[in-house]
Structure 1
Amino acid sequence: MPVSAMTAAAVGVIVGFGGTVALVVQAGQNLGASPLQVVSMVTALCLGIGVPGLLLSWRLRIPVILAWSTPGAALLAASALGHDWSTAVGAFIIAGLLMVVVGLVPAIGRLAARIPSAIASAMLAGVLLPFVIKLFLVFQTDLALAAGLTAVFLIARRLAPTWALPLVLVSAFAALAFRGQLALPADGGLFGALSPAIPHFDLKAAVSLALPLFLVTLVSQNLPGLVVLRTAGYEPPPGPLLLSTGAATVLLAPFGVYGINMAAIVAAICTGPEAHPDKERRWVVGVIYGGLYLAAAAFAAPLAGLFIVMPTGALALITGLALIGPLTGALVGAVGEPQDREAAVLTFAATASGVALFGIGSAFWGLVIGFAALATLRWRRR
């Protein structure tokens, strides 16, 4: 086995886990999860990535690289509707079941692939924008840390783009340790733990959380992830892959899993010739990647604990910098088709506004307004 296979898998895990675990912790806290439930959330997500990814890579003989849904975590962290943890878990199960249906029924999968990317990207951009704005609000309260981490991010993006977020993370921990602000929860323990919750199913949560969570995960993660595999020269079977990720979400949802999906950016690191020169043997990278996530699950308590007790400003900085890339991609996708730009802007503005009507959040209303505008504008052009 070439060293490059282990290196690519390790870099993928560091970038995927370290880059966005702060956002996952924020999502759990925003939904009312206790520190133990947040640890369970991170542990279960790592298991949901590691076990199916390892088995699928071995069974299909292609490098199946899974991840948690970063856009989904942003959606949950931005929710201002006051859902409790049990209700959120119920929404996770519904979102997972919707993905299972797409995996089981090819016609629905083909229909889902035709969802206008401009609307889905605009909704995602509206969800991500507030987190990036909060990054700059920290300049008012902690100028030194905000300016320092932003400088590290920009310089790293110029010199070593793949390592930008891990370097930001290391720099943040170093700065907080120097200030005496880095600690672990007193009762956090050393190993990961699973803490189940009884799901509560609520119609409003299904509409405002589950449906947008399903759509943003499908359009922004799963479909691009399949494209990455095809670009690398493979023919991934969409049905079994979507079915497997949806089933993993449903089974692990009581422990805090909100979305397991195909990776896109991280997959590009692990599926190219740089990862393994032999295309027919490159599936071992997926096996190693899955195994490393199982190791992360074993030590999820201290890994999550560092972010659970992190000062609010530092957490906002790390999260905002981590989402600059996804926000850029979403904005580009939103305005990529000239004929759909007006509808996309309406979707973006409605989602970013945070408006809530009838107890349903802005992500849903952004989609409603966007699809209505798109239908009207296309009808007018005809």
Structure 2
Amino acid sequence: MKGIFSLSHVSAGFTAVLVGYTSSVVIIIQAATHSGASPIQIESWLLVLGVMMGLTSIGLSWFYKMPILTAWSTPGAAMLVVSAGEYQLSEAIGAFVVSGLMITVTGLIGPLSEALKRIPSSLGTAMLAAILLPFCLKGFEPLQTSPILFIIMFLTYLLAKHFVPRYAMLLLLSVALICAWFVTPHDAVEFQIAMAKPVWMPVTFDVSALLNLALPLYLITMISQNLPGVAMMKSYHYQTPVKSSLITTGVANMIFAPFGGFSANLAAISAAICMNDSVDADKNQRYKAVIWAGVFYLAAGLFATSVVALFIALPADITSMLASFALLGTLLMCLHSAFMTEEYREAALLTFLITLSGVSFLGISSTLLGLAIGLIYSRFTPRT
């Protein structure tokens, strides 16, 4: 246990969790709300997500002695905000179970993961960009309704991104809380430090929900989270145990789905915080930073009641801006990746436009329809 209480390990673990939560917890709450969850059920979502991410991060990192950080799927949550409202909560929960099952099966059957890798990243990121774009646009609407508030938040974001990019969302959240204090009636806010409790939610398997929620959630999680997570670890010279990681997170998804655990997968961006040289000069000791991140995940999950109360109390304009600005970097990455490769540029454009349109055909949502048409188009387009 030598060095387990190293300040660099503790601070890296805390920062990774803090960045993950401040950048996207509001999107998770929106996803749960659009899925039909009540405030108590939303608390259960955040509780089990914290427990899932904490246990899987600690377990995988301790067993393999590598910094294997897991996270929730922010793009997956964004997809749920768009699509989950068309289904009952129990049907969405059933989709979460099946998505976890598909991830588990992918880990068990090698050819499946290989087939997924052959999906052009340009099309996957085009689909993601179309999902994220409405969120990012909505964050600029307060310029008309609350111009002063927007200017304060936007300037904070720009300055923070320029001078302290790692802590941009933390500073933006701090300013958002200060602004909310002045624009929200204090007697309308009920905030207390309390531990969350898990809430069982019925599970229903609906064919349409499986097609339009489970399958897109699985694809988004694999393309935008697990594959980049593997690439991130490789960039720091770690050989990711892909099979074990997929099976572990997939099984965790299935077990915790009835309590709101919609996704647990390899982290990418936040994982880098626990892998660089500043964490530990010895790369074989950096896994301890992820173990601390797991501890902080567990703490955040246990006190999800307070987290939910805090974000529900925020005015709608503020939550829109927080979600928008948190996703701008991801949107930029997706757009760049989608149209970077010339041979897939037209197929990516079709995927992007069809997904963005919101159209459906024969019960197939625009998310899956856009990706399918993009794949077909790219398949029959001559390579230059």
TM-score (norm 1): 0.96
Aligned partner of 2:343 in structure 1 is: 339
- In structure 2, what is the Cα distance between the partners aligned to 1:81 and 1:350? 19
Shift of 1:361: 2.2
Q: Which deviates more, 181-190 or 256-265?
A: 181-190
Which of 360, 368, 371 aligns to 1:356? It is: 360
Question: Which runs of 5 or more residues in structure 1 are unaligned?
Answer: none
For each residue in 1:3-26, what CA deviation from the matched residue of structure 2 results, as whole angstroms up to 9, or x when unmatched?
211111111011001110000000
Against the structure 1 CA distance between its residues 50 and 80, is the aligned structure 2 distance closer, same or farther, given a 3 Å change threshold? Answer: closer
Supply the RMSD in Å over aligned alpha carbons: 1.6
Report how many aligned residue pairs link the two structures: 380
Which of 162, 165, 171 aligns to 1:167? It is: 171
Q: Which deviates more, 369-378 or 213-222?
A: 369-378
Aligned pairs (5 A) from 1:1-382? 1=3, 2-79=6-83, 82-181=86-185, 186=190, 190-378=194-382, 381=383
For each residue in 1:12-48, what CA deviation from the matched residue of structure 2 results, as whole angstroms up to 9, or x when unmatched?
0110011100000000111111111111101111111
For each residue in 1:347-371, what CA deviation from the matched residue of structure 2 results, as whole angstroms up to 9, or x when unmatched?
0111111113344321111112211
Q: Which amino acid aligns with 1:125?
A: A
Partner secondary structure for residue 136 of structure 1? coil
Partner secondary structure for residue 71 of structure 2? strand
Shift of 1:182: 6.4
Tell me if structure 2 keeps the 8 A contact 1:124–1:330: yes
Q: Which amino acid aligns with 2:184?
A: G
Shift of 1:318: 0.6
Which structure 1 residue ranges, 4+ long, deviate > 4 Å from structure 2? Answer: 181-189
Q: Which amino acid aligns with 1:143?
A: P
Q: Which deviates more, 246-255 or 185-194?
A: 185-194
- In structure 1, what is the Cα distance between the partners aligned to 2:283 and 2:191? 46
Shift of 1:81: 5.0
Tell me if structure 2 keeps the 8 A contact 1:270–1:286: yes
Q: Which amino acid aligns with 2:219?
A: L
- In structure 2, what is the Cα distance between the partners aligned to 1:181 and 1:171? 17
Tell me if structure 2 keeps the 8 A contact 1:205–1:360: no
How high is the sequence identity, in percent, across the aligned residues?
37
Against the structure 1 CA distance between its residues 171 and 214, is the aligned structure 2 distance closer, same or farther, given a 3 Å change threshold? Answer: same
Q: Which amino acid aligns with 2:330?
A: P
- In structure 2, what is the Cα distance between the partners aligned to 1:285 and 1:354? 42
Shift of 1:222: 0.4
- In structure 1, what is the Cα distance between the partners aligned to 2:199 and 2:192? 13
Against the structure 1 CA distance between its residues 81 and 304, is the aligned structure 2 distance closer, same or farther, given a 3 Å change threshold? Answer: closer
- In structure 2, what is the Cα distance between the partners aligned to 1:235 and 1:55? 17
For each residue in 1:176-208, what CA deviation from the matched residue of structure 2 results, as whole angstroms up to 9, or x when unmatched?
112235688649771122111111111111111
Against the structure 1 CA distance between its residues 244 and 347, is the aligned structure 2 distance closer, same or farther, given a 3 Å change threshold? Answer: same
- In structure 1, what is the Cα distance between the partners aligned to 2:100 and 2:335? 26
Tell me if structure 2 keeps the 8 A contact 1:226–1:236: yes
TM-score (norm 2): 0.95
